[in-house]
Structure 1
Amino acid sequence: MTPLPDVDVVVFDILGTMVDEPGGIERGIRALPADPARSHTGDLLHLWQRHVDERQQDILAGRRPYTDSTAIDQEAAEHVAAAAGVGDTDAIRALAASAQRLEPWPDSVSGLARIAARLPVMGLSNAGHSALTRINAHAGLRWHQVLSAEDVRGYKPHPDVYRLAVANTGLAPERLLMVAAHAWDLRGAQAVGMRTAYVERPVGDPPRPGDAFDLSTKSLDDLAAVLTGD
């Protein structure tokens, strides 16, 4: 396959795109010492996800001061544990930590390595720095650079997060390719002039009919083939 021309740096979303975030949290919920956690895992996962999304939206809207992802995950864990009838602090702490013990998708490590052999690869995540250290170590993801939305005290899809990646490369935004399994993330990157590649994952936000991304692939291996020409 012909490599995509004029791309100098490949920027990857991490949560959902490179690692199975919902799966890790589900495992943490199932480990809670309560029957509701085992019989209503899906509902409790949705409760966690809604809490995180609402808190991030509050921060983006200026209704709440910036709080990093680790603190928000702790809040979500406490919220879920309360709904499951769990009050044990060690169990809640373990549940919160499950958000940083996330498994990579089967092609994440190999696909990233293939692309990194040809082009600089950068992680760009809403996860805070301390969380990213643990997430990347657990999943075995190796980057040339990792950036966190914590650096701009915000969250994607705020444009400042994508501009952080652009500023750290010293390149024009159109020389960067943003890779994500979330169409909302790619729209945010497009808004600052970055090129975009959607990678299909079992979780994420599929493109809408009106979306027009530069690339759309079934897997990271397929993306690696396009970017490397192999």
Structure 2
Amino acid sequence: MIDVRVALFDVFGTVVDWRSGIASAARSWFAAHAPDRVDLDPFDFADRWRARYQPSMQPIRQGTRGFTALDVLHRESLVDLLTELGIDVDGAAVDALNAAWHALPPWPDSVAGLTAIRGLVPVAPLSNGNVSLLLDMARNAGLPWDTILGAQVVRAYKPTPESYLRTADLLDLEPERCLMVAAHNDDLAAAQACGLRTAFVRRPLEHGPGGADPGPTGDWDVVVRDLVELGAVLARTGAQTRRS
């Protein structure tokens, strides 16, 4: 790990708690805009909305749809879900709920962990979120990014190779000088295949107390329980900001 010069982070689930954030926003939104449906489980609603996340990006990955920002994909998925639930609201109400992705809460260790890591190497999201979403989220949650990177910047959605390789190229770094940090094995596997170093962060509550916790399934460079521990590991192994 001594040659790592930047730490790149998956965001949804790794840095922020999307499920609790969306459920909280949905609970308030139903009370205001669909009071006859307040019986709906907000966590189930969050899960069903999130379940449309990967399928919504697949046509773009396959080249059958031009690049489209995640905010747009999230909104399309939300309209589809509301229609499925028989909820008819105006566009402004839909926009208000869609904006919940911009204000997701960080995990308890995220801000302190990112701050510690940032003292060693630059930190940036390598997320499928669009720039305005990630910027708003950072300001709301206090995430200390050095810059905002991700799918909209490189015009490619993870886990396509372009998303990782174009990011490394933007930073003028060889892939092996970049550390991909994620709570998702598929993200790390794709990054590793492109030559990036990998760090698995355990997030057993991403899908709720009863959700699946697969744990690390690959040969990752680092496995940690949270981002504070990752900062300590990087400090011990000599990660540095000096660029060759």
Where in structure 2 are the equivalents of 1:129-168 lying within 5 Å?
129-168=131-170
Question: CA offsets, 1:66-91, max 9 Å, x none?
Answer: 21101111112222322343322233
Mapped partners of 1:64, 1:207: distance in 2: 33
Structure 1 window deviating more from structure 2 (44-53 vs 173-182): it is: 44-53
Deviation of 1:207 (Å) = 4.6
Q: CA deviation at 1:10?
A: 1.1
Q: Which amino acid aligns with 1:219?
A: D
Q: Is the 8 A contact 1:30 1:38 kept in 2?
A: no
Contact 1:34-1:84 within 8 A present in 2 as well: no
Question: What is the CA-CA distance between 1:189 and the residue it aligns to?
Answer: 0.7
Distance 1:104 1:79 in 2: 27
Aligned partners of 2:154 and 2:167 also within 8 Å: no
Instruction: Please report how far the alpha carbon of residue 118 of structure 1 lies from its aligned counterpart in structure 2 after TM superposition.
Output: 1.6
Looking at structure 2, the residues matched to 221 and 35 of structure 1 have their Cα atoms a distance apart, in angstroms, of 43
Give 1:15's match in structure 2, choosing from 12, 15, 28: 12
Q: Which residue, 160, 176, 179 being the options, matches 1:177?
A: 179
Alignment match, 1:5:
2
Cα distance in 2 between the residues matched to 1:56 and 1:165: 19
1:203 aligns with 2:197: no
Tell me the secondary structure at the aligned position of residue 26 of structure 2. Answer: helix
Tell me the residue number matched to 1:109. Answer: 111
* Distance (whole Å) between structure 2 residues aligned to residue 34 and residue 141 of structure 1: 34
Contact 2:202/2:215 (8 A) holds in 1: no
SS in 2 for 1:39: coil
Task: Please tell me the residue identity of whatever aligns with 2:200.
Answer: Y
Residue pair 2:7, 2:181 contacting (<8 A) in 1 also = yes
User: Offset of 1:173 from its aligned partner?
Assistant: 1.0
Q: Which runs of 5+ in 2 are unaligned?
A: 208-212, 238-244
Paired residue secondary structure (1:16) = coil
> Which residue in 1 is equivalent to 2:235?
228
Tell me what 1:212 maps to.
Answer: 219
Q: How does 1:66-105 map to 2 (within 5 A)?
A: 66-89=67-90, 90-105=92-107
Q: CA deviation at 1:161?
A: 0.8
Counterparts of 2:39 and 2:93 in 1: how far apart (Å)? 14
1:208, distance to aligned residue in structure 2 (A): 5.6
Deviates more, 1:81-90 or 1:45-54: 81-90
* Matched length: 226
2:242 is matched with none
SS class of match (2:148): strand
Q: Would the alpha carbon gap of residues 172 and 109 (structure 1) be closer, same or farther in structure 2, given more than 3 Å must change?
A: same
Q: Could you list the runs of 5+ residues in structure 1 that have no partner in the other structure?
A: none
Please give the alpha-carbon distance, in whole angstroms, between the structure 1 residues aligned to 2:220 and 2:38. 39
How far is the alpha carbon of 1:215 from its aligned partner?
0.5
Whole-Å separation in 1 of the counterparts to 2:3 and 2:214: 26
- Whole-angstrom CA distance in 2 between matches of 1:175 and 1:159: 16
Query: Match of 2:20, as an amino acid?
Result: G
Residues 72, 37 of structure 1: alpha-carbon distance in 2 compared, 3 angstrom cutoff: farther
- Rounded to whole Å, the distance in 2 between the matches of 1:6 and 1:152 is 24
* Cα deviation code 1:76-125 (max 9, x no counterpart): 22223223433222332221111111001111111101111121112211
- For residue 119 of structure 1, what is the aligned residue in structure 2? 121
- Mean Cα deviation higher: 163-172 or 178-187: 163-172
